[in-house]
Amino acid sequence: MKLEKAIFPIAGLATRFLPLSKVISKELLPLVDKPLVNYTVEEACRSGIKDIQFIVRKNQKDVLSYFKNDEELEKRLIEKDKKEEIEELRKIENIAQKISFSSVIQKTAKGDANAIYEARQFAGDDAVGIFFCDDIIHSKDIPGFQQLKDVFETCQSPVLGLKKLPEDKLSSYGVVDVEKIANGFYKIKGISQKPKNNPPSDLAIMGRMIITPDVFEYMDKHKHLREKDTSITTVLGEMASEGKSIYGYEVKGDWLECGDKMLWFKSFLTLAMDHPQYGDQIKEFIKNIKI
């Protein structure tokens, strides 16, 4: 199966980010000097993705607009000799030249399984990547999604990105029950959603995965999974518990979460201090803050 397509579910209301999310999509919130979606699309591009479909709510156009050329803005920057600013715009244009963008509307405000199901025609008979933009994988070497893609080339089955977490953090995540195959590579036997006690492992699911056409077929047969407020990890967990081949891989790189304001603040500071241009200045500034 080819793996050159990716689905970005972005139709959620992002109520944890109100009032900001009243006027812009969460995916456009800045993380240092770029919006969240810039990081995830750039990761997809570096991993060989050529087609992206955004799952949007009605009248949600700002994310797609971000990747469109603004000739009037560029003209004004050229007139003012704003070379650095033009260079930043060109970086976005370079990504847009390598990837074809499209969108489809999520008709009802339900879970991400429902949103992803809307992209079944886009996926067709190919495997597709799933990217959640509030998870940033900061990897200086191999992009996070490329790591999953390398695993997929061997197993040709759905693959979930995993990360080990302390036990006291696991109750906020989907946690996998696994059989270890190799170092960092697992067969998934089931998924426990936000376990309060006795988590099946210390491996939490990140916002990166690869799904295959049989996942859409499974949702076709099990209508309730796409009509309720259900996550795609619940679908994959049910498939795994029935003996379907679902795999997981521990992604190398820093997992910067931006699912709520506090996680976003922490990720912002973490990435800011590692910024190639501003990092040293920010570290010095933080060191000198008087509390």
Cβ–Cβ < 8 Å for 53, 126? no
Q: Is the pLDDT of residue 290 over 80?
A: no
pLDDT higher than threshold 70 for residue 253: yes
102-136 pLDDT, tens digit each: 999 998 888 899 999 999 999 999 999 999 999 99
**Mean of the pLDDT values across residues 16-33?**
93
Using alpha carbons, select from 120, 123, 121, 210 the residue that is nearest to residue 160. 210
- In the three-class reduction of DSSP (H, G, I as helix; E, B as strand; rest coil), residue 84 is classed as helix
Average pLDDT over residues 160-184: 95
Token output for 4: 């050159």
Residue 250 — very low, low, confident or very high, per pLDDT cuts 50/70/90? very high
Over residues 53-70, the pLDDT tens digits come to 999 999 899 999 999 888
Neighbours of 50 (CB within 10 A): 13
d(CA 186, CA 182): 7
Q: Which of 113, 104, 105, 112 is nearest to 51 (CA)?
A: 104
Where do runs of H (alpha helix) occur along the chain? Answer: 36-46, 62-66, 71-79, 83-98, 112-117, 120-123, 144-155, 213-221, 224-227, 232-241, 261-273, 279-287
103, 54 in Cβ contact below 8 A? yes
CA distance 246 to 144: 18
Tens of pLDDT, residues 134-152:
999 998 889 999 999 999 9
Q: From its phi and psi, is residue 22 left (phi > 0), alpha (psi between -120 and 50) or beta?
A: alpha
- Report whether pLDDT(226) > 90: no
pLDDT of residue 103: 95
CATH architecture group of domain 5-273: Alpha-Beta Complex (3.90)
User: Which residues are CB-contacts of 277 (< 8 A; sequence separation ≥ 6)?
Assistant: none
pLDDT score, position 291? 62
User: What's the mean pLDDT in 164-188?
Assistant: 95
The DSSP call for residue 166 is: -
Q: What is the mean pLDDT of the chain?
A: 93
Beta-bridge partner residues of 34? 31
Distance CA 268, CA 271 (A): 5
pLDDT, mean of residues 250-258: 95
Q: Are 106 and 11 in contact (CB under 8 A)?
A: yes
CA separation for the pair 110, 230 (Å, rounded): 7
